[in-house]
Amino acid sequence: MHASYVIRRLLQIIPTFLAVMLVVFLLVRLLPGDPASAILGDRATAEIVERTNRELGLDRPLPIQFGVFVRNLLQGDLGDSISLKIPVLRLIGERLPTTLFLTAYAAVLGVLMAVPLAVLAAVRRNTWVDAVIRAVFQVGLSLPVFYVALQLLSLLGARLGWFPIGGYGEGFGGHLYHLFLPALTLGLNLAAILVRTLRNSIIEVLTAEYVDFARAKGLRSRVIMTRHVLRNALIATVTLLGLNIGALIGGAVITETVFAIPGVGRLMVDAIFGRDYPVIQGLTLTFALIVSLVFLITDLIHARLDPRAELS
Amino acid sequence: MTPLLSVRDLNVRIPTPGGILHAVRGVNFDLMPGEVLGLVGESGSGKSVTLRSLIRLHRPPIEMTGTVEYGGQNLLDLSEARLRDVRGGQISMIFQEPMSALNPVLTVGEQIGENLREHKGLRGKAAQDRAAELLDLTGIPSPRARLSDYPHQFSGGMRQRAMIAIALASEPQLLLADEPTTALDVTIQDQILRLLLRLREELHMGVILVTHDLGVVAQTCDRVAVMYGGRLVETAGVNDLFHAPKHAYTLGLMRSLPGAGEHRRPLQPIPGGPPDLRSLPPGCPFAPRCEYVTDACQGMEPPLLEVAPGRFSACIHSDELPALKSTPEEVEV
């Protein structure tokens, strides 16, 4: 469906991609310190540092370094990790599935929490039920991700021992079990954003005349809520969800560190501390690509939910 | 003959920040099977609020009291489950603005289909066939192809036809129509009214038509109930009403209507605006705007009394009002 639209949108990713490349290339080089010092430590002499930088090609002028970066990238080569000495592409390929799994898991948990609670808050609007739901998520939203992560870890992980406190597990079931706490951490944050918007959209849709018409048709309240109200209320929420997937990946960087999960989030943190330029560049480009694709998918879902929306 | 619907002492109270708005105040009327009753009045007279309360469509905190008797039961205190069988099943309703009353994200076919499933137990192919028949019945060309269209792909008149098709899916005994033609241009309005009359004949259903337009009443109704300030102030057969209104407000409405042919005369608008239902003065609510007002009108609110066979009026000067000797046919639509 809408094949030409999809192709056009994919082509639009290219300029975005170029801009991201340039920005990230310059940003990593603006960081204080350089890869050689990070690898060699404080005791290395200036001479050794200089030689290492020369071996890594970091002594050449920036435009030339950028040219090399772009030329390699066009050949599908993101370079080798400076600290781990293996191709960045392979590194990302190994770690990315974990992070994507975590992100998808968090999104599913977030939606599963948000939709029923938003419906409940909307139906019981301006009662104590609504007030409690909104207050809990308002607090949840204002707490930093790492704090929520640590609290969940100490309560459900360490004290009650219901869930493992780290690692990735084996197989699909193992992943689900091991990643539950980190996914919950991220999911709670997402749910907090979704509940508020979805509750308000549901309340707005409930006053629409087509809801009265549906009631006048003698439909069951459950049918009215799912077919007539939620389908309309979700239209705005889907866009919000798409926009927040990017934030979710950002949140994964922190969460993976707290829960010791071998995903790209951890890889990113390690690469930044080690001034591993190729890894930082490769990961940033990967994130940009994922976010662009998520936006495209969001727009396609939006068009599916809302027949009035024109893809153009 | 027993009435299809019997309304007694219907009251609707709407809480607002400025106090309780008593929107419908002790309304009584009967509707015979197959009859078309026009519920007429200006904006804020309580006609749409009355119509919606007949199937208990108002939600809390709006309060409805009185009885709406249909099929031997009072719809106002029926359980939700039993009420659902009546709503949409035996009594259907169509709204003023089909664009906002039809769900924008469901196809017309789906919106007819859910009625057929709920009230007729039809699914799949059988429901599709019946839905296409209904669109055809309401005069929508190539009905089968249009089932998969969304409301925004229909024109205004076609949308109203589609809404009528949805309402008719359950073959109701009674159709409640809330200003069904107000949002349409005049030629389409005429087509929709003719359609409603034809369907009334074919399906032998009663119709309550809410409108502010006496032209629409003239074209379609058997009997008219005029509302003012939340009460019925006059009920009469449509010919009697146009010949000689028995309430000063009805007379005012007639005079503000353009006549046709030799009855052309300057229009006389009714001065002033509708009363504030949160704080009604004692006496006749129309008194402040009425040219026949006397001290007797100010004392207590006149009740709706039978002033001639089959004619009821709540005007103490009903005998003094001039006959207009007009007929419904003369009224321009």
B113-168 pLDDT per residue, tens = 998 998 888 888 888 898 898 888 888 888 899 999 999 999 888 888 899 888 88
**Rounded alpha-carbon distances, angstroms, from residue B50 to B23, B153, B266:** 8, 32, 33
pLDDT at B275: 84
Q: In this complex, do A215 and B105 lie within 8 Å of one another by their Cβ atoms?
A: no
B259 CB-contact burial (10 Å; exposed 0-12 / middle 13-18 / buried 19+): middle
| The CATH fold of domain B32-57+75-90+173-333 | Rossmann fold (3.40.50)
Residues of B in contact with A217 (CB under 8 A): 87-88, 92, 114-115, 118, 166
Instruction: Decide if pLDDT at A154 tops 80.
Output: no
Q: Does pLDDT of A36 surpass 80?
A: no
Bridging pattern class, strands B231-237 and B174-178: unpaired
B-facing residues of A in 203-222 (CB < 8 A) are: 208-210, 212-220
Q: What is the mean pLDDT of chain B?
A: 87
pLDDT of residue B56 exceeding 80, the answer is: yes
CB–CB contact B105 A307 (8 Å): yes
Q: Which of A162-176, A178-192, B92-106, B151-165 has the lowest mean pLDDT?
A: A162-176
Q: How confident is the model at residue A211 (pLDDT cuts 50, 70, 90)?
A: very high
**Candidates 3.30.70.980, 1.10.3720.10, 3.90.79.10, 1.20.120.1200; CATH matching A90-305:** 1.10.3720.10
The partner residues of B178 in beta bridges, in order of sequence, read B210
Instruction: Report the percent of chain A where pLDDT is more than 90.
Output: 15
Please check the confidence at residue A57 and state whether its pLDDT lies above 80: no
Residue A312 pLDDT grade (very low, low, confident, very high; cuts 50, 70, 90): low
Tell me whether residues A210 and B102 touch, CB distance under 8 A.
Answer: yes
Contacting residues of B for A235, CB less than 8 Å apart: 105
- Cα–Cα nearest to A279, from A287, A268, A288: A268
Choose the weakest-confidence range: A160-164, A292-296, B248-252.
A160-164
- Name the minimum distance, in Å, from the CA of B247 to any CA of chain A: 33
Nearest CA in chain A to B96: A209
Query: In chain A, pLDDT over 70 holds for what percent of residues?
Result: 98
CA–CA separation, A238 vs A301, rounded Å? 8
3-state SS class at B186: helix
Domain with CATH 1.10.3720.10 in chain A: 90-305
Question: Residue A218 and residue B85: Cβ atoms within 8 Å?
Answer: yes
Q: Is B168 helix (H, G, I), strand (E, B) or coil?
A: helix
Q: What share of chain B is helix, strand, coil (3-state, %, to 5)?
A: 35, 25, 40
- Tens of pLDDT, residue by residue over A268-289, are 888 888 888 888 888 888 888 8
Q: What is the pLDDT of residue B332?
A: 55
DSSP string, chain A: --HHHHHHHHHHHHHHHHHHHHHHHHHHHHSSS-HHHHHH-TT--HHHHHHHHHHTTTTS-HHHHHHHHHHHHHTT---B-TTT-SBHHHHHHHHHHHHHHHHHHHHHHHHHHHHHHHHHHHHTTTSHHHHHHHHHHHHHHHS-HHHHHHHHIIIIIIIS--S-SS---SHHHHHHHHTHHHHHHHHHHHHHHHHHHHHHHHHHHHTSHHHHHHHHTT--HHHIIIIIIIHHHHHHHHHHHHHHHHHHHHHHHHHHHHTT--SHHHHHHHHHHTT-HHHHHHHHHHHHHHHHHHHHHHHHHHHHH-TT----
> CB A70: neighbour CB atoms within 10 A?
13
Measured between beta carbons, the chain A residues lying within 8 angstroms of B104 are 210, 232, 306-308
pLDDT of residue B217: 87
* pLDDT above 80 (res A108): yes
Instruction: Give the strand pairing for B63-70 and B5-16.
Output: antiparallel
Q: B66-81 pLDDT, tens per residue?
A: 999 998 899 999 898 8
pLDDT value at residue A58: 77
pLDDT of residue B206: 92
- Average pLDDT of the segment spanning A194-210: 91
Q: Domain coordinates of chain B in residue numbers?
A: 32-57+75-90+173-333, 97-171
User: Using a CB-CB distance cutoff of 8 angstroms, which residues of chain A are in contact with residue B92?
Assistant: 216-217
Is residue B230 pLDDT above 60, yes or no? yes
Cβ B152–A210 below 8 Å, yes or no?
no
pLDDT at B261: 47
More confident residue, A18 or A110: A110
Is the pLDDT confidence value at A18 over 90? no
Residue-level pLDDT at B75: 92
Nearest to B289 by CA among B268, B308, B274: B274
CB contact under 8 A, A216 and B104: no
Tens of pLDDT along A116-135?
999 999 988 888 998 998 88
Indicate if the pLDDT at residue B178 is higher than 50. Answer: yes
pLDDT for position B267: 77
pLDDT in tens, B262-310: 556 677 788 888 888 887 878 888 988 888 888 888 888 888 988 888 8
Beta bridge partners, B228, equal B231
Q: Give the whole-angstrom CA distance, residue B120 versus residue B111.
A: 14
pLDDT of residue A212: 92
**Chain A CA closest to residue B97:** A209
For residues A42-54, average pLDDT: 76
* C-beta separation of A227 from A220 below 8 A: no
Partner B contacted by A74 (CB < 8 A)? no
